A and B are shown apart, each in its own frame.
Chain A
Amino acid sequence: MLLEITELTKHYGGLVAVERFNMSVGEGEIVGLIGPNGAGKSTVFNLVTGVLKPTKGKVIFDEKDVTGQKPHVIAELGIGRAFQLNPLFAGFTVFQNVFASFHLRPKSSLLDAFFNTATYRRNEAYISEQSMEILQLLGLDGVKDELAKNLPHGHQKLLGIARALAVKPRLLLLDEPLAGMNSGEIDFTMEAIRKTHRAGVTIVLVEHNMQIMDLCSRVVVVNFGQKIAEGSPSEVRDNEEVVRAYFGGGGCCLV
């Protein structure tokens, strides 16, 4: 297993955000993490990537215990992440956003960077080539000199994925990659995710948009911080508890 989450719990005082959450992701999978608003999906991501410290439980990545590690350490281990509300390096151009995100692989030492050594120049040339490749993959090469803050929302979302790819991740966590996109952008993004997956990246994604379930080999459903179902997309769609979580229970007329 590439990622194994056991009994992950996060309490804010008396408030339970995530309760005894278990999940495992194998190498090469695309796993969907779905659930109603406030179910704790983003919290799980924040716990895995070290933005939040779990109250209890364990996160094991590639057979290493990474529970409660700092975000930059998690990134170094090979977990890339795109955010839901999508913060950007707003004053950088699209290209600079990706370029600056190549912090780890290759890594230049401070002295190399300061003295402009041959290693540093080689690294920078390689990074700029790689950045262009990523931008092409995500169809952002046409706007590479635009300031990130001036991009339309859909492009900004894609830029978030591009930046996460600069970490050269083995596991990519995408928090609502399709939120706020129009149907053309959705098709494009799904294709980009498929391509990324084909390049050998394992993906976990949080999404409300049911279209994306077609990409997933497996879906995990969360509600009130707990896992309520797991299985293939079609299994989950027919699961009674899932239907109740989404549409309300007790003979509701909606279903």
Chain B
Amino acid sequence: MVEKRLSKRNRKKLIQPGIYAGVIIVLSLFPLWIKSPYWTHIFILTFIYIIATVSLRTITISGQFPLAHAAFMGIGGYVAAIPSKWFGWSPWLTIPLGAITAMGIGILIGYPFARLRAMYYAMVSLFFGIGVLQVFFVFQRWTNAYHGLTGIPPLLSVTSKVPYYYFFLGLTVVCLSILYRFEFCRIGMTLKAIEQSHLVASSVGINEPRYRVLVLAVGCFFVGLSGGAYAHYVRALSYTSFDLLATLWLFMYVLIGGIGSFAGPIVGTALLVIVPEFLRGMKEFVPYISAAILLIVVFVMPEGLVGLPQLVESWMKKHREKRAVHHAS
């Protein structure tokens, strides 16, 4: 029994890195057989959103559900775009600057936020996100508010999308590796402990506010990074792409993929960014379809899409048992 369990665990230990490595290899070969710039573009957007959603899920493991995550993407985006467009700074400098600014603001609001829980946290972070949008609006001289900021200098001076593809693939792998390590060392365990019971966590000496600020800072850094990279790739920003709805979409990606596992937001984002592209004729129905998927996932697969293999396995097992009972009788 013990041996069996061990071997199963070992198998899992081998399967997971195997899957990740396989996905990375397939993705790095992808431009060789798909030459369409359109699809390359869609994949690049998927990479950017994967960084955003995985960083969002990293924050949620501490029990915080910030409804301002897209606003932080916007902070990263605008802080990267504005100096670059108006003052000619290099994108290679402004993208990290955007990420660090997002992190700094994350730390600043993190302390008051660390006193809030559940509904109160959601409300305050929601209004913070709205406030950030207002700030973008106030500085419309630089952000062009309604009209959108266009003509942002490109990150790479190439016309082909393939170099961008490899840049964003590499960036995503690096960011996700960092976030993965962050979650699966003692820091992540402490965050999960806080999520389960802050009362117990503090009774064993865990400094709850400090950890909550830490995870918020890390999450904001990476989403800021994705926002900055987005700005210099798409070369246009509109402040409506960072509103509450954008945050809710990020949450949607996370929930559909599975909030309980690291791969969840990756799967959810890939699915919800790529699949609607096949339904281009009915784009206006995408929110309804996504909502329907979310409902189905929530009711049928509480673990999200990544829980599907396990679910199928347990169904099959049940089925087999039922048949065995039939045969016996």
Question: Which residues of A have CB within 8 Å of B128?
Answer: none
Once bound together, how far apart are the Cα atoms of A199 and B59, in whole Å?
A: 40
Partner of B203, one of A100, A120, A164: A164
Q: Say which one of B12-20, B77-85, B115-123, B192-200 lies at the interface with A.
A: B192-200
Given A88-B196, A91-B196, A92-B196, A114-B187 contact (CB < 8 Å): yes
A81 to B189, CA, bound (A): 20
Which of A88, A89, A104 has a CB less than 8 Å from the CB of B205?
A: A104
- Whether the pair A75, B202 counts as a contact (CB closer than 8 A) is yes
Contacts of A92 in B (CB 8 A): 192-193, 196
State which residues 69-124 of A face B: CB under 8 Å.
70-72, 75-76, 80-81, 83, 87-92, 96, 99-104, 108, 110, 113-114, 116, 120, 124
Chain B residues, CB < 8 A from A104: 204-205
Q: Which residues of B contact A51 (CB under 8 A)?
A: 199, 202
Interchain CA distance A110-B188 in the complex, whole Å: 11
Tally of contact residues, B, Cβ under 8 A: 21
Using known A-B contacts A75-B204, A75-B205, A114-B181, determine if residue A100 contacts B189 with beta carbons closer than 8 Å: yes
CB distance from B141 to the nearest CB of A (A): 40
Contacts of B189 in A (CB 8 A): 96, 99-100
A166 within 8 A of B: yes
Most chain A CB within 10 A, of B190, B202, B208, is at B202
| Residue in A71, A96, A102, A124 whose CB lies within 8 Å of B202 | A71
A163 within 8 A of B: yes
Contact across chains for A163 and B204 when beta carbons are under 8 A apart: yes
Q: Which residues of A contact B182 (CB under 8 A)?
A: 114
- Check: B186 CB closer than 8 A to any chain A CB: yes
CB-defined contacts of B200 to chain A, threshold 8 Å: 83, 87-89, 101, 163
Cβ-based interface call for B214 (8 A): yes
Q: Among A72, A91, A114, point to the contact of B208 (Cβ < 8 A).
A: A72
Is B155 part of the contact surface with A, judged by Cβ < 8 Å? no
Whether B196 pairs with A90 at a CB distance below 8 angstroms is yes
User: How many contacts A-B (CB < 8 Å)?
Assistant: 82
**List of A residues within 8 angstroms of B193 by Cβ:** 89, 92, 100-101
In the bound assembly, the distance between CA atoms of A76 and B210 in angstroms comes to 15
Question: Which of B189, B197, B205, B206 has most chain A Cβ within 10 Å?
Answer: B205
Size of interface on A: residues with Cβ below 8 Å to B? 34
The verdict on B325 contacting chain A, using a C-beta distance below 8 Å, is no
Within 8 A of B (CB), among A114-164: 114, 116, 120, 124, 163-164
Q: Which of B187, B197, B206 contacts A110 (CB 8 A)?
A: B187
Is the CB–CB distance between A100 and B197 below 8 Å?
no
- State which of A87, A103, A108 has its C-beta within 8 Å of the C-beta of B206: A103
Quick check: B206 and A116 within 8 Å, CB to CB?
no
From A72, A108, A163, A167, give the contact of B186 (CB < 8 A): A108
Q: Is A9 an interface residue (CB 8 A)?
A: no
Interface centre among A71, A91, A101, A166 (most CB of B within 10 A): A71
Query: Can you name the residue of chain A whose Cβ is closest to the Cβ of B210?
Result: A72
Chain B residues with Cβ below 8 Å from A87 are 197, 199-200
B252 shortest CB reach to chain A, Å: 23
Most interface-central of A91, A113, A163 (chain B CB within 10 A): A113
Q: How far is the CA of A103 from the CA of B192 in the complex (A)?
A: 13
Q: How far is the CA of A92 from the CA of B201 in the complex (A)?
A: 13
- Chain A CB within 8 A of B185 CB: yes
A226 contacts B by Cβ under 8 Å: no
Contact status of A75 and B196, CB under 8 A, knowing A103-B190, A114-B187: no
A49 interface hit (Cβ, 8 Å) = yes
Q: Are A89 and B196 touching (Cβ within 8 A)? A: yes
Separation of A42 and B285 alpha carbons in the complex (Å): 56
Q: Chain A residues with Cβ under 8 A from B203's Cβ?
A: 49, 71, 75, 80-81, 83, 164, 167
Q: Which 4 A-B pairs have the closest CB atoms?
A: A75-B205, A71-B202, A104-B205, A101-B204
Would you mind naming 26 contact pairs between A and B with Cβ atoms under 8 Å apart?
Answer: A51-B199, A71-B202, A71-B203, A72-B202, A72-B205, A72-B206, A72-B207, A75-B204, A75-B205, A76-B205, A80-B203, A87-B200, A88-B197, A91-B192, A91-B196, A92-B192, A100-B190, A101-B193, A101-B200, A102-B204, A103-B204, A104-B205, A110-B187, A114-B181, A124-B186, A164-B204
What is the interface of chain A, defined by CB distance below 8 A to chain B? 49, 51, 70-72, 75-76, 80-81, 83, 87-92, 96, 99-104, 108, 110, 113-114, 116, 120, 124, 163-164, 166-167
A-contacting residues of B (Cβ < 8 Å)? Answer: 181-182, 185-187, 189-190, 192-193, 196-197, 199-200, 202-208, 214
